[in-house]
Amino acid sequence: MAIWNLIENGAIELTEQGLSPFTRVDLIKYVQRKNPAYGPDSINPIIQGLTDNLHGGAPGAVGKNILHSVGRGLFVLRTKNSEDIQQVTNPQTDKPITRPLPQKNNPLSVENTIYQFSNSKVQNICGYDFRFMCNIEPEREPSGEVHVFMPQSRFGNKSSVGLNRYGKGPFCKFKIPRDLQYPGVYALMEGTNIKYIGECDALSSRYNMGYGNISPRNCFLGGQETNCRINNLIYQEISAGSEISLWFYYTLDYKAIESQLRADLLPSWNRI
């Protein structure tokens, strides 16, 4: 079967499965399942050539009328879903942003699980429906103050490695529900203020083994500076009486969407 037919069939199948929009990676994986001889270098130009609002690419026999791009690495089937596109406005810059409309009644079991877990609390961020997951609740002292967690002394520092620039702390310790092992984009919010946008391939692990539990090694040069930095910022906000909430948007295209939102919103905790 011709490569452009495989791409069209893949777009139709992904749409029927409820993946709309779907990613470039989804299409490539579909084609390679059907014909492993096709590599990304041969598939990508055909995808480009079949997309009505992208320039260039290798044109297929069916023309540029199969796919429609709705964002970086995101597509819908043009013949069925091109009407599901809207212009939304970034509330902080008043600039228009092209986004796919939020998909209602999505049959994906993962999304249904997240919707049920979130109790239908929704925060629309630049056209994406983020679901409320939980408030960040650090361990506290009997007095109610946030417990200070300083793991640096537990590191066997035989080579006298120095602390990284965020390794001094102080830190807090917290967990989120462990059954949220889904890929997507998350937002940390203080009230209605978006403080941080990030991406992950497993939400629970990202927090319970990362931000919420600073390992001794991460405090030193070569460790995970971001874990230390975000944990300390959460500690400071909550110690000052603020409430930090976690919101989540399930997507397989989490890297591209995170990049878009960071550029659109410039959250104060994100480094440029």
As to burial, measured by CB atoms within 10 angstroms (0-12 exposed, 13-18 middle, 19+ buried), residue 133 is buried
Mean pLDDT score, 157-182? 85
More confident position, 239 or 221 = 239
**What pLDDT score was predicted for residue 104?**
34
The domain spans of the chain are 3-83, 109-265
Confidence band of 111 (pLDDT split at 50, 70, 90):
low
pLDDT, tens only, 69-87:
877 788 888 754 444 444 4
**What pLDDT score was predicted for residue 15?**
77
Q: How many CB atoms lie within 10 A of CB 226?
A: 15
Confidence band of 236 (pLDDT split at 50, 70, 90):
very high
d(CA 20, CA 14): 7
pLDDT, tens only, 42-79:
898 888 888 888 877 765 555 677 888 877 788 888 75
Altogether, the residues listed in the chain come to a count of 272
User: What are the contacts of 224-233 at 24+ separation with CB within 8 A?
Assistant: 225/164, 225/165, 225/166, 225/167, 228/164, 228/166, 228/167, 228/169, 228/171, 229/166, 230/188, 230/196, 230/269, 231/171, 231/172, 232/166, 232/169, 232/170, 232/171, 233/195, 233/196, 233/269
Q: Enter the pTM of the model.
A: 0.59
pLDDT at residue 148 tops 90: yes
